[in-house]
Structure 1
């Protein structure tokens, strides 16, 4: 998934969770919430030097990719469990939104053809429920649908 699709689908998912559940992202710090959500939505790709966040990481992406590879530790089930525990443990707008965005990123990549290594570091085998290929028309449709959903709730 491209960075802009990760951001738009994470925002749409956060709006849905906020609207249809008792968990709320609407708090006293909407700027921190929005920043955390968008940063979390792209952060797992810190393991790819050519990604949007990787190009802005001042060399960190190089080292993360060298040590863990792309779609390694930052895309693993272990990272998802840590993000979920942090989401449930902390009561801070930025941290909650970051963790939710992080989890939304992993969910998005789980449905890509490339998948994610859910059981890393035990195995590098990727799990996938293939719905789309990165950059495909289906991804563009997901992007457009998430924008429409966001617009529906905001306007």
Structure 2
């Protein structure tokens, strides 16, 4: 999945969660979600986040390869535990975005090794439910997710929550 699709799908998941659970759709939550949505690709040195990692991604890629440990449920659990030790809207978003990334790659035709390191084989659903990264089906996922996000944002109070949060943040500067 391309970075823009990871970000939009993860923010849409975060917005959906925010409508049902008492997590305000704040700037911190959204920024955490965006960072979490690209963080698993730290295992690929030429990814969006890998190019900005000051060499960390090179080491992770050498140790685990792309779509290895960082794309597993175990890594998500470790990230989430660290987030729970520092609870904030940002860290909740980080966990949601990380899970959204793994979920998005799970539906790609390459799948993800969900149970790595116990089972290193990538899992993927039926080929009827998969997409090719950068292909037409991913573009359709991106467009439909943008529409869903707009509906969620405009239908409820999420848009106003986000604007209010940004205003509060700017006022503290």
After TM superposition, the score normalised by the length of structure 2 is: 0.80
Q: Give the whole-Å Cα distance in 2 for the aligned partners of 1:17 and 1:60.
A: 31
Question: Offset of 1:82 from its aligned partner?
Answer: 2.8
**CA root-mean-square deviation:** 1.7
Q: Which residue in 2 is equivalent to 1:150?
A: 149
Question: 1:10–1:105: 8 Å Cα contact kept in structure 2?
Answer: yes
Correspondence 1:16 to 2:7: no
Question: Offset of 1:34 from its aligned partner?
Answer: 1.5
Deviations 1:80-102 (A, max 9, x none): 33345556676311111000000
Q: Give the whole-Å Cα distance in 1 for the aligned partners of 2:37 and 2:22.
A: 18
Residue 26 of structure 1 aligns to a residue in which SS? coil
Task: Give the aligned length.
Answer: 151
After TM superposition, the score normalised by the length of structure 1 is: 0.89
Deviations 1:51-79 (A, max 9, x none): 11111111111011001110111001211
Q: Give the whole-Å Cα distance in 2 for the aligned partners of 1:33 and 1:111.
A: 25
Q: How does 1:2-151 map to 2 (within 5 A)?
A: 2-19=2-19, 21=20, 23-26=21-24, 30-85=26-81, 91-129=87-125, 130=127, 131-151=130-150
Question: Offset of 1:153 from its aligned partner?
Answer: 2.6
Runs of at least 5 residues in structure 2 that lack an aligned partner in the other structure: 155-173
Decide whether aligned partners of structure 1 residues 104 and 142 sit closer, same or farther in structure 2, where only a CA change above 3 A counts.
Answer: same
Runs of at least 5 residues in structure 1 that lack an aligned partner in the other structure: none
Q: Give the whole-Å Cα distance in 2 for the aligned partners of 1:111 and 1:105.
A: 10
Q: Give the whole-Å Cα distance in 2 for the aligned partners of 1:60 and 1:117.
A: 21
Query: Is the radius of gyration larger for structure 1 or structure 2?
Result: 2
Question: Offset of 1:25 from its aligned partner?
Answer: 2.9
